[in-house]
Chains A and B, each alone.
Chain A
């Protein structure tokens, strides 16, 4: 009987087979690097120190072009967030009545928010009002609107980063591979492949979902514009984002961690994953309890089933 249950359960999991194939299309980017993440696996959680470093990279590097509209400062202080505190640090000498586990009262969150200028509402004469940020504010965008963003970035609109990890196939590994995979960077080729010409204002990356066919130099093509025999178009494509982490120590870590390109990339991707899935830790923790409960319950119900049916031939 259990055999049949297992068979049924196996069939029930079949849609997983489809899940992977729904995205095959366009170009031939290089497969992203399989990186080890602190948050992966059944029990994976965020490394808070890493999230803090990642935030530092985001703030120093990414945020000059990329918005993160769905994240509020207070989220940084929520359980699982980069600056969550269980209790107020003693060295800050805060009053006993302050509850630092409350994101709105968290001193780090308040300081980070105050560092931004927020334009919200109007003053008494009807003019737009600017004020320092509060924990309840959302991260302001670097550009006033999409047109301004495109003008400043050679016609490309830098995507919002709130959900970037979930909005790309294998998001963590993809973003990590992309930002460390430019020519000359640790995970990239030594140089731009010689078969292609990269247009001015664009950057080649083997992990980008683009197409290098249109970039092929004339000597590798026949009269009809097809590849000559034996010539392969290189992986990836070119796009308008300059290497954001072009050299070591663009960010100097406050905690003294070695600021290599790979380290900064890993940290910022960890932060971006938190931005996309702030509930991850709570979700996995609850999942553990739910599954334990269900397995125990299934065992009890199965035993009852055997007991009740013991005298029925079926």
Chain B
């Protein structure tokens, strides 16, 4: 651990354990006395929310697995049996299905927080990279989970996405056959997806432990982006952040419950209440909402890339789309080395901040485009939005690293907090004066 252990075993039993396996000490140093910057705002609560969501997904998922049948003839009906005949089965299934959406809401906000406050920068590159690994595992898990009910969108989504493997030169078709376990999406596909869907959350849990370990070595970043200097900059994790995270978790649960109990199917697709039929293709195949930005980038590549003035194609449009979609996530791994600015927080980067805001808007735009039919003008807009997505990482951030003059940084977190308070007071005071000036400003 990055800080001196302050754990003092209080009882004989604790001393006995501490000598043999200091697990209580580990827990105490990590989650009780861990020194945490005192200026973390609510954007920093999504880590805790994500941990809770992972547990909720595993618990509801294990219960669902007790009743689910992974066979193409029975999968759809067994899910409906859970909905209709298992005691509180509808609750388990709606909690699990909407839980996936909640998980992605939280992870996107968690990533956005990292991008805004520069949490990926030295010395947190490994912490960030592990986060990207978790994100990739989550996407794979969610995709395979969506296939399990074996509805129309399950089946056709699986067909579209697994077929992408065939875009890879030479080994593409063998990979596709391996994914399918045969020559089409069929029972073997469903079986292996089920096995992997059950396995991967535990892999995620393992990487989450590494992620927290990598967090606790350098300690938290914070909204000022300035490192902790003295004890005055920090508070112990418990009770300060257990209660703050606790409030955020309960507030998040309200949102979650609103979906589960009052609009459980809003985030899903109606076609998935029709059993899978390989002979009927849905008019419009779309993935779940959380994949839409990446789906838009996949479909944006409608052109082949080859040697100009010849017919030689090096990368056809299908492979290009796959590379762009994968690249859009893999690029996050190298982000710490693309953004060379020494200033972490966008609070002190007046230019980069606005480019990042455009980047966020761009991702929302891509999400919207992913749900539209693949025709003009959506294709052109998708191409422009995809171009901006990559330009932000590959051009804008590297250039700004050199050209941007950051605002002066506070000397410490405590100073940042004081400046913040003064700033928000200043912003508030003009409200006392009306436009006509007839009302005297309140004395301060």
Of the listed stretches B210-218, B267-275, B306-314, B330-338, chain A binds B267-275
For residue B380, CB closer than 8 A to chain A, the reply is no
| Tier of interface size on chain A | 35 or more
Q: Mark A299-311, 1 if CB is under 8 A from B, else 0.
A: 0011011001100
Interface residues of A in 33-55 (CB under 8 A from B): 42
For residue A286, CB closer than 8 A to chain B, the reply is yes
B250 near A26 with CB under 8 A, answer no
For residue B219, CB closer than 8 A to chain A, the reply is no
In the A-B complex, list the 6 residue pairs whose CB atoms are closest, starting with the nearest.
A287-B261, A25-B284, A167-B273, A18-B289, A279-B90, A21-B371
For residue B368, CB closer than 8 A to chain A, the reply is yes
B417 near A291 with CB under 8 A, answer no
Q: Mark A1-21, 1 if CB is under 8 A from B, else 0.
A: 000110011011111111101
Residues of B within 8 A of A26 (CB): 283-284
Residues of chain B whose beta carbon lies under 8 Å from any beta carbon of chain A = 38-39, 41-43, 77, 80, 83-84, 90-91, 94, 101, 104-106, 109, 235, 239-240, 243-244, 246-248, 250-255, 257-258, 260-262, 264-267, 269-271, 273-274, 283-284, 286, 289-290, 292, 364, 367-368, 371-373, 414, 417-418, 421
Other A-B pairs, 4, CB within 8 Å; known A42-B262, A70-B80, A166-B265: A15-B267, A283-B264, A286-B261, A312-B235
Q: Which residue of B lies closest to A169 (CB)?
A: B270
When the two chains form the complex, which single residue of A22, A290, A294, A314 contacts B289, counting CB atoms closer than 8 Å? A22
A22 near B371 with CB under 8 A, answer yes
Residue from the set B101, B106, B247, B255 with the largest chain A CB neighbour count within 10 Å: B247
Residue from the set A4, A19, A295, A304 with the largest chain B CB neighbour count within 10 Å: A19
Alpha-carbon distance between A222 and B235 when the two chains are bound, in angstroms = 78
Known contacts A287-B260, A301-B246, A314-B39, A14 near B371 by CB under 8 Å? no
Alpha-carbon distance between A284 and B414 when the two chains are bound, in angstroms = 47
Known contacts A4-B41, A167-B270, A278 near B91 by CB under 8 Å? no
Residues of A within 8 A of B417 (CB): 313-314
B109 near A12 with CB under 8 A, answer yes
For residue A168, CB closer than 8 A to chain B, the reply is yes
A290 near B251 with CB under 8 A, answer no
B254 near A291 with CB under 8 A, answer yes
Would you list 5 pairs from A and B whose C-beta atoms are within 8 A, ordered by A residue?
A18-B371, A25-B373, A162-B80, A169-B270, A284-B261
For residue A75, CB closer than 8 A to chain B, the reply is yes
Q: Which residue of B lies closest to A69 (CB)?
A: B77
A24 near B261 with CB under 8 A, answer no
Q: Which residue of A lies closest to B260 (CB)?
A: A287
Q: Which residue of A lies closest to B286 (CB)?
A: A22
Residues of B within 8 A of A25 (CB): 283-284, 373
Q: Shortest Cβ distance from A19 into chain B, in angstroms?
A: 5
When the two chains form the complex, which single residue of A23, A162, A163 contacts B269, counting CB atoms closer than 8 Å? A23
Q: Which residue of B lies closest to A27 (CB)?
A: B283
A301 near B247 with CB under 8 A, answer yes
Residues of B within 8 A of A116 (CB): none
When the two chains form the complex, which single residue of B83, B243, B273, B368 contacts A18, counting CB atoms closer than 8 Å? B368
Residues of B within 8 A of A140 (CB): none
Residues of B within 8 A of A129 (CB): none
Residues of B within 8 A of A283 (CB): 90-91, 94, 261, 264
A298 near B251 with CB under 8 A, answer yes
When the two chains form the complex, which single residue of B94, B101, B260, B262 contacts A15, counting CB atoms closer than 8 Å? B101
Residues of B within 8 A of A169 (CB): 270
For residue A297, CB closer than 8 A to chain B, the reply is yes
